[in-house]
Amino acid sequence: MQNSPRTMSIDAVAAEQQRFMVRVYNWMAAGLGITGFMAYYVANTPTFFNIVMGNPIIPIVLIVAQIGLVFWLASRVMQMGVSQATGVFLLYAGLTGITFSTLFVVYTAASITSTFMVTAGTFGAMSLYGYTTKKDLTSWGSFLFMGLIGIIIASVVNIFMQSSMMHMIITYAGVLIFVGLTAYDTQKIKEMNILGNEGTDEDTKEAIRGALTLYLDFINLFLMLLRLMGDRR
């Protein structure tokens, strides 16, 4: 029998929230692990890499598939079965890894590794802040969302302008936005956990939804930092 949130002590609530966040981080780590493995494997397997990058249509299909999967999972995860939600999340992570295989061609492996470590440290610090702070970060949400929309629009415009100055401004702004989103989303995920449903299918799907959010924050922060720190081949 599940405990009602009203009958749970403050310590019990904190302990359940902590266990929930551990599950979120575990799912996120699984997604990042699959992404990293697929990126490295494809980049170092000429047959697969040539198949993926030899046809200009395939990268476009991959990107469209990723966008479709992430929107589908984000909007429908609670209506899916656990196995379906798991499959979609891991498939998305795998497709992202295939797309990221090109990074090993553009940047040195050493700079990718060092940037990943910096990203992990920055993400960990901001996520810890979001989890532990008593400050309500709700007010950050609209500001960060507007900033995110702004860098997306600016990035599209810069495809045509090809301005190196705008590229740097977008990159620095992107780092700040995803650093902020990491803290904001961590607090939001912690608070969205439905107390008393630990161990249920709904709890697992909540964890997957939270993991997807933090996974997206992590990989976008990584990409922004790689633009700044990466050594090109």
Distance between alpha carbon 203 and the CA centroid of its chain, in Å?
19
| Strand-pair partners of 107 | 232
Model pLDDT for residues 20-44, shown as the tens digit of each residue = 999 999 999 999 999 999 999 999 9
d(CA 165, CA 193): 42
d(CA 162, CA 214): 30
List the structure tokens of 87.
């499959």
Question: Does 219 or 161 have the greater pLDDT score?
Answer: 219
CB atoms within 10 A of CB 68: 11
Closest to 103 (Cα-Cα) out of 190, 201, 225: 225
List the structure tokens of 117.
């470590």
**pTM for this entry:** 0.91
pLDDT of residue 95: 95
pLDDT of residue 197: 76
56 confidence band (pLDDT: 50, 70, 90):
confident
Model pLDDT for residues 59-90, shown as the tens digit of each residue = 889 999 999 999 999 999 999 999 999 999 99
1 confidence band (pLDDT: 50, 70, 90):
very low
**Per-residue pLDDT for 8 more than 80?**
no
Residue pointed to by tokens 């950050």: 140
**Per-residue pLDDT for 55 more than 50?**
yes
Q: What percent of the chain has pLDDT over 70?
A: 96
12 confidence band (pLDDT: 50, 70, 90):
confident
